[in-house]
Structure 1
C-alpha cells in the first residue's frame, strides 16, 4: 500500500469540515486529503504521516447517516450539509458497484451548477482524487477519496446568483481574455462576513450578470483546455496584487480551475464547455467577494537559481495546506509557460499565510 493510500485511509473516518454547528453552518474545510495528494505526487521533503498526526487533531469524525439517499430522492438532499453522512454512504455504494469514471460522468453535470460548494473545496477535492486515480486507475483508497469529495460537493451544493441570467445587452458582452475578464469583475462594496453572506449579496451587485458573460467563450470544446489554462494562469498572477486582501480565500480563484483542468481529460467532451463556464463563475464570485478594487504592487519575492526547487522546499518547510496547494498550481502553470512570476506568486502566498 502506498503512503497516499495509507493517508487516505487515516482521513476517511473524518468529516469534510470541522468547527461548524449542529444546524450545518459552515466550519473550516478539511484540506488533509488534498494536501497529502500534492505532498506525495510532488515528492515534498516532509513526513506525510507526521504532518497528518498534527492535522488529524483538528478534525472531527464523519457524521453518521440520517436518511438514506436513493436514485429517487437525491435532488432534495442537494445542498443539505446535515446529510454529509448520507451522501458519503451513497457515493461509497455507487463506487463499489460502478467504475469510478462512470460515477464521475453521471454526477459531474448534476453537481456543476453548485460548484461554489464549500468555497469550491468540493470540486478541488474531487480534482485531487481524480489526479490520483489517473495515476493508478484501480486504486481503491483513491476511489473512496473521490466518493468523499463528491459527497462534500453534493452536501454543500449551492447555485450562484446571476449564473445563467440574461444579460441586459448581450451585444455589449465583451470577449475578454481571462486576465481582463477577472479585472472587469465588479467588487462588492461590503466585503464583510462569511462567504455565504457575501455570495448572497452578488444578486444585487450592479454589473454582476454582465461580468459573467465577459470571458471569451470557446468556439468548440477543443478550445476549453487552453482557456482553462489561461484562467488558472491569470488567477495565479492576480494573487500578486490581490492576495493581501484575503490570503487564504483568494488562493481558490486559481486552485478551483486547476482542479477542473485535471478532471477534464476523463470527462465526456460535451461537459467541457459547461465546466469552464461554471468554474469561471466561481472564480469571478470569489474575486467579487474578496479581491480589492485596486490591486497593490508589492515587491515580488526574489527567486534563486533553481526556483522550482525553492518553491517545493518552501511548501514543505511552511507546511500550511493552502500554501502547498497554491504552490502545486503555480508549478503547473510554470510547466506550461515558464513565467517566473507565477513562482513568485507562490512565494508571496507563503509570505502572507501564517505557518501552522
Structure 2
C-alpha cells in the first residue's frame, strides 16, 4: 500500500467549514434526549443508536446542509429511544467501584454521568487519556460502537475552536457506551463469538497470516499498520454475498479507522496496545461475519483511483441515507486521502450495493 500525498479531492477539512460546526451542534442538540439504542423506551440492549456518528460523518463529507433532514429521517425510520434511568453512582476515584460497573448495561446513565463530571472537572483530553487504556481491553463493546462513537465525538471536538457543551456530552456518551457494554477478550460474549467464528471458519486463513501485512507495517508506524488493517477488513468485506446481514462486518473497517483517527490525540505509548486490541476485534468480526470465496461476478469493477468514481461512491452513500453506508464512505475518503489505497472505496461501493438491495 503506497504512501501518498493527500489528494485535494479527498482531503476535506471540516475545521475550515462553519457548516460542519453548525450541523454537528444542531444534530447533537436535536439528539440530546435520545437514548443509546434504537426503538422506543429506555431499553438497555438492541441496535445501537448511530445518529450522532452518522450526522458527524455526513458533515465531515461536506454535506452539513443535509444533516438536519437526515437526523429527522433517522428519528422517523429508526427511532431514538429514551435515555436510561440512573442506577447507582460510580466513583471514578475508587477502582472497585468503576471496575465493577464495566460491562453493566444497566449502568449506562451512571457512566454517562461519571464521564460528564470527569470532562467538566479535568477537561475532555485528560479524561480521554485517562480512560482510553482502561477501556481498550473491552473494545469489542457493542460490536465496537463504543470506540467508534468516541472517535467521532473526538473529531467533532477537535474540528472546532471551542467545543460546545453538547459536543463534550457526546464524548461522554461515547465513552459511557464503551464502558457499559465493555467486553474483555476473555469475557463470555467474546469467547462465545470467537468459538462461533472458529466453528464457522474451519480451514480459513489464520489471523496471524490474515493480518501479516498490517503487522509488517508496524516497522513504519502504528498509523500505517492501522491503515493496512482497515484496508484488509475492506478487502474481506467485498467478498460478502447478497442475502446475509451486511452490517456487522463493516465494523472491521470502521473500527480500526476510528482508532487511527483518535490516536493523534493520545500519548504515543497507547498506540501499539490500541492497534493490538482492534486487530483482535477485527479478526473476530471477520471470522464470524464474512464468507469465503471470490467477489460477486455481477459486481461492477470499481476504479477508486478515478476522482469521479470516488465522488460517485460517496454521493451514492449519501443518497441511500443508510448510516453504515455513510460511515464507510467517509472512512474510504479519509483513508484514501492519506494512503491512496483503493480497497476502502471498493468496500464502500459494495456496502451501498448490499444495503440498498
TM-score normalised to structure 2 length: 0.81
C-alpha separation in 2, matches of 1:74 and 1:228 = 30
Q: Secondary structure at the match of 1:28?
A: coil
- Runs of 4+ off more than 6 Å: 20-23, 203-208, 218-222
CA distance in 2 between counterparts of 1:108 and 1:243 reads: 35
CA contact under 8 A between 1:114 and 1:160: conserved in structure 2?
Answer: yes
User: Does 2:95 correspond to 1:89?
Assistant: no
Q: Please report how far the alpha carbon of residue 143 of structure 1 lies from its aligned counterpart in structure 2 after TM superposition.
A: 1.7
What is the RMSD of the two structures over their aligned residues, measured on CA atoms? Answer: 3.0
Q: 5 Å matches for 1:233-272?
A: 233-242=231-240, 244=242, 245-272=244-271
Q: Which runs of 5+ in 2 are unaligned?
A: 1-20
Which residue of structure 1 lines up, in the alignment, with residue 53 of structure 2? Answer: 34
Change in Cα spacing, 1:196 to 1:149, as seen in structure 2 (3 Å) is: farther
Q: Which moved more, 1:277-286 or 1:211-220?
A: 211-220
- Name the residue aligned to 2:174: 149
Contact 2:23 2:64 in 1 (8 A): no
Deviations 1:122-161 (A, max 9, x none): 0000111111122125302222111100000001001124
Conserved 8 A contact 1:67-1:86: yes
Instruction: From 159, 170, 178, give the equivalent of 2:184.
Output: 159
1:178 corresponds to which residue? none
Q: Which runs of 5+ in 1 are unaligned?
A: 164-193
Q: How many residues align?
A: 323
CA, structure 1 residues 77+212, in 2 after alignment: closer, same or farther (shift >3 Å)?
farther
Measure, in 2, the Cα distance between the counterparts of 1:199 and 1:146: 29
Alignment of structure 1 residues 24-63 onto 2, 5 Å? 24=44, 26-44=45-63, 47-57=66-76, 58-63=79-84
Contact 2:119 2:168 in 1 (8 A): yes
C-alpha contact 1:161 1:202 (8 A) present in aligned 2:
no
Q: Which position in structure 2 is the counterpart of 1:131?
A: 155
Question: Take 1:134 and 1:301, find their aligned partners in 2: how far apart are those partners?
Answer: 37
Q: Deviations over 1:6-51 (max 9, x none)?
A: 1112213111113599884x30110001111111111127621111
CA contact (8 A) 1:126 1:149 kept: yes
1:5 counterpart SS class: helix
The residue that corresponds to 2:4 in the other structure is none
Correspondence for 1:291: 290
Separation in structure 1 between the aligned mates of residue 196 and residue 350 of structure 2, nearest angstrom: 29
Q: Aligned partners of 2:240 and 2:326: how far apart in 1?
A: 19
Q: Does 1:8 align with 2:28?
A: yes
Cα distance 1:282–1:91, how it changes in 2: closer, same or farther (>3 A)?
A: same
Q: CA deviation at 1:250?
A: 1.0
